[in-house]
Amino acid sequence: MPGRVLQCLTWEKSWTAFFIRLLKHVTQLDFEYNGDWEDLEIVENRLISDVVPRLLGALETDGRSIKSSLIHGDLWEGNTGIARKDGNIFIFDSAAFNAHSEIEIGDWRCHYNRIHDKEYMESYLRHYNERSELKAEWEDRNRLSFIYFNIIYSVNYLSQGTVMRQV
């Protein structure tokens, strides 16, 4: 995953279980690097016990399932470029891992990314990454992914870590 710390990225049959492990791991790292924060611990416990199973678990019920996809893992404008010679687009600095494809653009909500334009996100979704069933909840699932990316940012950039967790 992006940054200087190793992640728990072994795929599980359940996307819900995988994401919970991923979130617990980065939150634990945040506590180790940036100190305990009772409010974050309360929110993490609520996310893990209620929100994640509700939002992601719904994608794995009633005959629905998640197919793991190889994602870039750190896809934002800072990791892209255009060749002057031929105009080809390059994507680099990958932190690739197998995940549900929807997590890929949760990072775009973070403060350090300029990809906040809803039109850009809609274009990406239309051409490269169809929303999963239960499309009405996609925005909430994207916010959930954003939480993960925001916490990992606070772990990777310790000089801003305790400030970033407030965001």
Encode pLDDT of 64-86 as tens digits.
988 888 888 888 888 888 999 99
> How wide is the angle at C-alpha 165 spanned by C-alphas 161 and 166, nearest 5°?
125
Domain with 27, as residue range(s), is: 15-164
What is the rounded CA–CA span in Å between residue 45 and residue 51?
9
69 within domain boundaries: yes
2 within domain boundaries: no
Residue 164 confidence class, pLDDT cut points 50, 70, 90: low
1 within domain boundaries: no
Which of the 8 DSSP states describes residue 113? -
End-to-end CA distance of the chain: 21
Tokens 């939150």 correspond to: 27
80 within domain boundaries: yes
5 within domain boundaries: no
3 within domain boundaries: no
6 within domain boundaries: no
Counted domains in the chain:
1
Q: Could you tell me the pTM of the whole model?
A: 0.84
- Find the farthest-apart pair of alpha carbons in the chain and give their distance in angstroms, rounded: 53
Handedness of CA 73, 76, 81, 82 (dihedral sign): positive
Encode pLDDT of 110-159 as tens digits.
777 777 667 777 777 787 666 787 888 988 999 999 999 888 888 887 76
What is the rounded CA–CA span in Å between residue 130 and residue 119?
15
Encode pLDDT of 47-56 as tens digits.
999 999 999 9
> How wide is the angle at C-alpha 36 spanned by C-alphas 34 and 40, nearest 5°?
95
What is the CATH number for 44? 3.90.1200
Helix axes 38-46, 15-34, angle to 10 degrees: 180
Computed over every residue of the chain, the mean pLDDT equals: 84
Tokens 């100190």 correspond to: 35
24 within domain boundaries: yes
